[in-house]
């Protein structure tokens, strides 16, 4: 599943339209949109890192997000001299107030340049200020990233910014329609990024929490919590070594859960291991 966090509705507009996202009426705290297949969510967080952190945490709690989910913060940013409309992916995020840093892991080839992003507490107006160095500056990335890292793996969490203002075209000239247009123009690159991340997420296997036959077995015998975990581990092993065989066939004579586990383990130890 993909979760997108945008500060403003105008930043989200083209994504909502492109993915035909529908507003989720049950979400009272933040405006949250969902795709029909429930594979994409978009939350509008409002301006600033606290809002971004809160909306990220809310999205996680509201949708019960998983470790393999993809998280994106998409929005606008400023830079002293980068061209308006330039799209950037963050390879380093610095929180201006604390100087704490995060390093998003870019394990694919994005169609855009990567740069350092400086997350400020207040809107920046002096583009020549040396504090910005060569970073792009905005207000949500640090809050979003630090929070999303609690819920997913960092390789699948990214910050994408489109330059909306620079020394020549300052922030006070930005309008909602202008921002919506900037995002719309970069949809193709954003879609490519989403495709790359989906591909990456597929490679994150995790042990099956309810392996085949698990339900059948725990219905028939009484297992303690520890035994259930042991059973899951045995059945996952079973799935690897002999996916075509049905373990139930070997459990007919078992009276107790302990015997079930022993029987499966003994059978597993007899299966050939071939390399």
Residue 35 engages other proteins in binding (rule: CB under 8 A): no
Q: From CA 99, how far away is CA 97, in angstroms rounded?
A: 6
Residues 6+ apart with CB under 8 A from 150: 60
67 is written with which tokens?
């470790």
* Residue 112 is a binding residue for other proteins (CB under 8 A): no
Q: Which stretch binds other proteins (CB under 8 A): 32-40, 73-81, 149-157, 175-183?
A: 149-157
φ/ψ of 2, rounded to 5, equals -115, 135
The verdict on 198 binding other proteins (CB under 8 A) reads no
Residue 35 vs 114, nearer CB to other proteins: 114
Site membership for other proteins, residue 208 (CB under 8 A): yes
> Looking at beta carbons only, is 107 or 248 nearer to other proteins?
107
Among 20, 150, 173, 245, interactor with other proteins by CB under 8 A: 150
CB 119 within 8 A of CB 93: yes
Q: Are 130 and 82 in contact (CB under 8 A)?
A: no
* Tokens, residue 214: 């698990």
The candidate with the shortest Cα–Cα distance to 161, out of 100, 108, 119, is 119
Asked if 212 interacts with other proteins (CB under 8 A), we say no
**How many chain residues interact with other proteins (CB under 8 A)?**
37
Q: Are 185 and 177 in contact (CB under 8 A)?
A: no
- Could you give the string, one character per residue 38-77, with x where binding to other proteins holds by CB under 8 A and - elsewhere? ----------------------------------------
* Contact between 207 and other proteins per CB under 8 A: yes
Among 82, 106, 111, 187, contact with other proteins (rule: CB under 8 A): 106
Q: SS3 for 4-46, per residue? A: EEECCHHHHHHHHHHCCCEECCCCCCCCEEECCCCCEEEEECC
Which one of residues 121, 155, 191, 212 is an interface residue with other proteins (CB under 8 A)?
155
Q: How far apart are CA 169 and CA 166, in angstroms?
A: 5
From the list 98-106, 122-130, 187-195, 212-220, the region that binds other proteins by CB under 8 A is 98-106
Does 105 bind other proteins (CB under 8 A)? Our answer is: yes
Does residue number 131 form part of the binding site for other proteins (CB under 8 A)? no
Distance, in Å, from the CA atom of 12 to the CA atom of 136, rounded to the nearest integer, reads 20
- What is the contact surface with other proteins in residues (CB under 8 A)? 91-92, 101-103, 105-109, 114, 116, 149-150, 152-156, 200, 203-208, 236-237, 239-241, 268-269, 272-275
């Amino acid at each position: 599943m993909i979760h997108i966090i945008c500060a403003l509705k105008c930043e989200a507009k083209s994504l909502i339209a492109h993915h035909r996202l529908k507003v989720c009426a049950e979400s009272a705290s933040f405006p949250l949109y969902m795709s029909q297949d429930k594979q994409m969510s978009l939350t509008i967080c409002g301006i600033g890192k606290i809002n971004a952190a809160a909306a990220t945490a809310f999205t996680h709690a509201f949708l019960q997000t998983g470790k393999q989910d993809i998280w994106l913060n998409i929005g606008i940013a400023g830079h002293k001299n980068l061209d308006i409309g330039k799209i950037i992916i963050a390879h380093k995020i610095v929180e201006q107030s604390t100087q704490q840093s995060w390093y998003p892991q870019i394990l694919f080839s994005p169609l855009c340049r990567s740069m350092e992003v400086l997350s400020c507490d207040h809107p920046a107006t002096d583009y020549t200020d040396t504090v910005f160095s060569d970073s792009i500056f905005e207000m949500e990335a640090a809050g979003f990233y630090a929070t999303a890292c609690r819920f997913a793996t960092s390789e699948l969490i990214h910050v994408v910014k489109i330059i909306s203002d620079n020394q020549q075209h300052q922030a006070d000239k930005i309008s909602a329609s202008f921002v919506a247009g900037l995002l719309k123009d970069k949809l193709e690159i954003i879609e490519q990024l989403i495709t790359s991340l989906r591909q990456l997420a597929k490679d994150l296997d995790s042990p099956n929490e309810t392996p085949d036959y698990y339900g059948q077995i725990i219905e028939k015998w009484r297992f303690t919590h520890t035994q259930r975990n042991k059973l899951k581990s045995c059945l996952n092993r079973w799935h690897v070594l002999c996916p075509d065989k049905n373990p139930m066939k070997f459990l007919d004579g078992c009276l107790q859960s302990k015997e079930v586990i022993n029987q499966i383990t003994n059978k597993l130890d007899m299966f050939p291991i071939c390399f």
